Structure 1
Amino acid sequence: MGISGKFPNCNNIEEYLENLMNKVNMCDDDERRWKHTNPEIPKLAGKINQPEKFDTGFFGIHQNQAEEMDPVIRMSLESAYEAIADAGMSPEDVKGSRTGVFVGSFYSEAESINCYKNLKPQGYSLVGCTKSMISQRISYALHLKGPSLICDTACSSSLEAMNQAYKSICEGKCDMAIVGGTNLCFNPNATLQYARLGVLNMKAECRPFDDNAHGFTRSEAIVMILLQKKKVAKRIYTEVVHCKSNVDGYKEQGILQPSGDGYSLLFKEVYEEANISPTSVAYIEAHGTGTVVGDPLEVNCINDFFCSGRKNALHLGSCKSNIGHTEPASGLCGITKLIFAMETGIIPPNINFDKPNKNIKALVDGSIKVVTEKTPWPKDLKFGGINNL
């Protein structure tokens, strides 16, 4: 397995882990993306460093073409190479192999700028901003012969990409897989739409599980993981025991409302199929966006399933307290945090948590504990879980 990524104000995985461990809020209010002229748009956001940088010579891409290419595609290509290197391999090792590429992503905020506003004569913008090119560029550059596709399931996109990659390897459709999650925020009007929808914290940071949580902070990330069979991997961070997704369909509360019944059914199916007791799970990296409706529903369902018969409190966290909500990339941001918690034996702390949400009974009575300090991984419990919406 290999991992690579760029996170708000972090140039690599090591900086991300260090900032998590040291309780750093990686979001800021500078004007790297746009000027703060609209009072409806929150100033605080998570931003990746230098998305404009790209080594065209290394990847054999003409400068004119690279300039009209969505930075998401460029940075995904770089991170895919880095993930392969982190796995102890070189690009030549995977060239021509049955390696799949599965990337979670949704709308491109660079597309409206490159394709519809700045009409350049070269004509590369359409190809450079097509969402399918995020995965296809990686497959093309590395001469890969496995499936190559984009997963768009909104905020669960990158975990659904992981799910599809895991299934494809298990079913023999590919021998290994590059799994990605991407999000870059370039268009202030997109953030304005989120604000008017009422899901953003307008004045402060993202506060998962806190009683003063009023929405999330938008954020950026590019994450790539090389998923391999254990028997051929040169580096093993952890093992994927099982993963699964579902769709909760119609509900009276509306399409944006998560389903408690959907959560409960999915938890039950995953742990029964994996033959794992919920009480053997030490830590859950939750979706935890800090929204008024989402947090109580998610954590209450986690409590109902994981805490029955448990001797000690279940540890809970969400990387969104540190980096904000990276939307389609959020699942892999959480997986990266979970992997390094298991690798180091220390669960990184949440920040921005002062008082438990009064609508989450399990936090009030102590059956679930939000990790707020560096916490040793319980020695008698070897499993960790991740949930994404």
Structure 2
Amino acid sequence: MGSEGKLTTGYWLSHPSLGEEIFITGVSGSFPDSDSVFHLKDNLFNKVDLISGDYRRWKMSHPDIPQRTGKINNIDKFDASFFGINFKEAHSMDPMGRIMMERTYEAIIDAGFNPKELRNTRTGVFFGVCYSESEKTWLYDKMHVNEFGMIGCSRSMLANRISHWLGVTGPSYAVDTACSSSLYALEQAFKAIREGHCDSAIVGGSNLCLHPYISCQFSRLGVLSPDGRCKSFDNNANGYARSETVAVCFLQKAKDSRRALPNLAGFDD
């Protein structure tokens, strides 16, 4: 491709024609002690401290691990039959995989679509994920339980499971670029739509703090705040606090969308 072709392509990518613009049309998520985007909005506007020191994940007895982390609610709840997951598989799935399915369903509904409408469409699935803290339990400690632990805790399967459940045919893969995984997944989805690899995309990101080993390693690395408090841009900043989130958004071209979220989840509603 000559320089003129590259210039034309670059201009098209940054200045799409009418109807080719890419919108976020649906969004859903679980956040620390916040069961939805709107619940999170209310908590933030009311200045609720969502980082807590309790025993919901593990006993706070190790001196190297900060006591305070952000924890989402109800990670042990899942309607397996609704998503066509058998009993054995559901009980050896990484909770991230279960919650991702729930939040994907909600994001699609939020966009004004029935998930069944996506079957056989060129919809891609792009998930950002760094660690699976369920691996120790289901791959090593309880490997005798059933044969589903391998796929239940595989990070690559997080995206593939969604594609299989929805019956979509676009690209489907997980992205791991550490702390930027979700943002990079969003970039990959945007480019895939722009370059014609898919017509729409489901983009998700997840992090759960399920086992103290990872937190202990981060603490010994010196990156965690001992008191479990982020102090961004403050002279007293001494590290960050670990927290959990599972969030999903739905990307579509303007011509295919039924609604758009220019201000993300209607913060002005």
Regarding TM over 0.5, the answer is yes
- The Cα offsets for residues 310-329 of structure 1, whole Å up to 9 and x where unpaired, read as xxxxxxxxxxxxxxxxxxxx
Shift of 1:39: 1.1
Asked if residue 184 in structure 1 is aligned to residue 107 in structure 2, the reply is: no
Query: Counterpart in 2 of 1:207?
Result: 231
Asked if residue 136 in structure 1 is aligned to residue 136 in structure 2, the reply is: no
After TM superposition, the structure 1 = structure 2 runs for residues 236-315 of structure 1, keeping only pairs within 5 Å, are 236-238=260-262
After TM superposition, the structure 1 = structure 2 runs for residues 62-73 of structure 1, keeping only pairs within 5 Å, are 62-73=86-97
Q: Unpaired segments of 5 or more residues in structure 1?
A: 239-337, 347-389
SS across alignment from 1:14: helix
| 2:267 aligned residue (319, 338, 344) | 344
Q: How many residues align?
A: 245
Tell me, yes or no, if the aligned pair for 2:202 and 2:248 is still in contact at 8 Å. yes
Call closer, same or farther: CA 1:207–1:96 in 2, change over 3 Å. Answer: same
| 1:152 aligned residue (176, 181, 187) | 176
Tell me, yes or no, if the aligned pair for 2:67 and 2:228 is still in contact at 8 Å. no
RMSD between superposed Cα atoms in Å: 1.3
SS across alignment from 1:178: strand
Separation (CA, whole Å) in 2 of partners of 1:121 and 1:20: 41
Asked if residue 227 in structure 1 is aligned to residue 150 in structure 2, the reply is: no
After TM superposition, the structure 1 = structure 2 runs for residues 26-37 of structure 1, keeping only pairs within 5 Å, are 26-37=50-61
Segments of 4+ in structure 1 off by > 3 A? Answer: 343-346
Shift of 1:204: 4.2
SS across alignment from 1:156: helix
Asked if residue 14 in structure 1 is aligned to residue 38 in structure 2, the reply is: yes
Separation (CA, whole Å) in 2 of partners of 1:112 and 1:235: 42
The one-letter code sitting in structure 2 at the alignment partner of 1:89 is: F
SS across alignment from 1:155: helix
Separation (CA, whole Å) in 2 of partners of 1:344 and 1:59: 30
Shift of 1:188: 0.3
Query: Counterpart in 1 of 2:193?
Result: 169
Query: Counterpart in 1 of 2:17?
Result: none
Query: Counterpart in 1 of 2:83?
Result: 59
The one-letter code sitting in structure 1 at the alignment partner of 2:169 is: K
Separation (CA, whole Å) in 2 of partners of 1:139 and 1:181: 15
Shift of 1:60: 1.1
Query: Counterpart in 1 of 2:16?
Result: none
Q: Unpaired segments of 5 or more residues in structure 2?
A: 1-24
Percent identity over paired residues:
45
The one-letter code sitting in structure 2 at the alignment partner of 1:344 is: F
Call closer, same or farther: CA 1:345–1:78 in 2, change over 3 Å. Answer: closer
Separation (CA, whole Å) in 2 of partners of 1:223 and 1:8: 12
SS across alignment from 2:126: strand
SS across alignment from 2:178: coil
193-202 vs 228-237, which deviates more? 228-237
- The Cα offsets for residues 284-332 of structure 1, whole Å up to 9 and x where unpaired, read as xxxxxxxxxxxxxxxxxxxxxxxxxxxxxxxxxxxxxxxxxxxxxxxxx
Tell me, yes or no, if the aligned pair for 2:208 and 2:244 is still in contact at 8 Å. yes
The one-letter code sitting in structure 2 at the alignment partner of 1:57 is: S
Separation (CA, whole Å) in 1 of partners of 2:170 and 2:228: 44
203-212 vs 36-45, which deviates more? 203-212
Call closer, same or farther: CA 1:146–1:38 in 2, change over 3 Å. Answer: same
Shift of 1:19: 1.0
- The Cα offsets for residues 255-280 of structure 1, whole Å up to 9 and x where unpaired, read as xxxxxxxxxxxxxxxxxxxxxxxxxx
